[in-house]
């Protein structure tokens, strides 16, 4: 009996593994958030910490967020900074898919009805068991500094047992 030929595995997620990931992954919910993250990029550049920035919305591209978050650790990412405005679900959704530390940055948005307080509450009010750190509204520089401090801790603690993650 001949062995059936296997179709090549084609998963976009696997393409990512060809490149080693940076230490810090930065996600923003919209292109309109990009400028507010400049201080974080400057801080990480100044400290020589490798990073990448992706635009991924928890509401507009939930599968993309799940894919990024659930593979980030495998690519070498050690901390994720997730910034969003309005109903800022992004940091929480990222935290649902990874055991990496997630730092949320609530942002003001031109559409925001509460000047960023809406995003702050959305990020801060995570349910028990799924923590997300949170810096001040538009506090992207502090997010980068906190990420640097987390990276500076190195090993020593055996870490948490991997809990089941949500299905993609």
> Contact residues for ligand RP5 (CB under 6 A)?
29-30, 32-33, 57, 84-86, 107, 109, 111
Residue linked to tokens 């730092």: 103
For ligand RP5, the closer CB: 86 or 103: 86
**Shortest reach from residue 31's CB to ligand RP5, in Å:** 7
Nearer to ligand RP5, 24 or 105 (CB): 105
Distances (CA, A) of 164 to 22, 109, 115: 25, 34, 36
> Considering beta carbons, is residue 105 or 144 the nearer one to ligand RP5?
105
Report in angstroms how near the CB of residue 79 gets to ligand RP5 at its nearest. Answer: 19
Q: If 0-12 CB within 10 Å is exposed, 13-18 middle and 19+ buried, where does residue 139 land?
A: buried
144 pairs with which residues across the strands? none
**Positive or negative: CA dihedral 9, 63, 139, 126:** negative
The minimum distance between CB 131 and ligand RP5, in angstroms, equals 21
Dihedral pair phi/psi, residue 54, rounded to 5°: -125, 145
Which lies closer to ligand RP5 via its Cβ, residue 101 or residue 116? 116
Smallest distance from ligand RP5 to CB 109, Å: 4
Residues 114, 128: contact at Cβ < 8 Å? no
CA distances to 38, 113, 143, 144, 148 from 79, in Å: 18, 30, 10, 10, 9
Nearest distance from C-beta of residue 29 to ligand RP5, angstroms: 3
- Nearest residue (CB) to ligand RP5, 111 versus 149: 111
């Amino acid at each position: 009996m001949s062995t059936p030929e296997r179709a090549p595995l084609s998963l976009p997620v696997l393409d990512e593994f060809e490149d080693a990931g940076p230490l810090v992954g930065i996600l923003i919910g919209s292109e309109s958030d990009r400028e507010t993250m400049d201080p974080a990029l400057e801080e990480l550049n100044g400290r020589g910490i490798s990073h990448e920035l992706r635009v991924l919305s928890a509401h507009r591209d939930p599968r993309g967020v799940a894919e990024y978050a659930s593979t980030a650790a495998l690519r070498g990412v050690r901390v994720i900074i997730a910034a969003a405005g309005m109903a800022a679900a992004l940091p929480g959704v990222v935290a649902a898919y990874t055991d990496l530390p997630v730092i949320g940055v609530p942002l003001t948005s031109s559409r925001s009805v509460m000047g960023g307080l809406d995003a702050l509450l959305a990020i801060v009010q995570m349910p028990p068991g799924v923590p997300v750190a949170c810096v001040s509204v538009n506090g992207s520089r502090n997010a980068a500094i906190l990420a640097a401090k987390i990276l500076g801790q190195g090993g020593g603690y055996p870490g948490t047992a991997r809990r089941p993650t949500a299905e993609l």
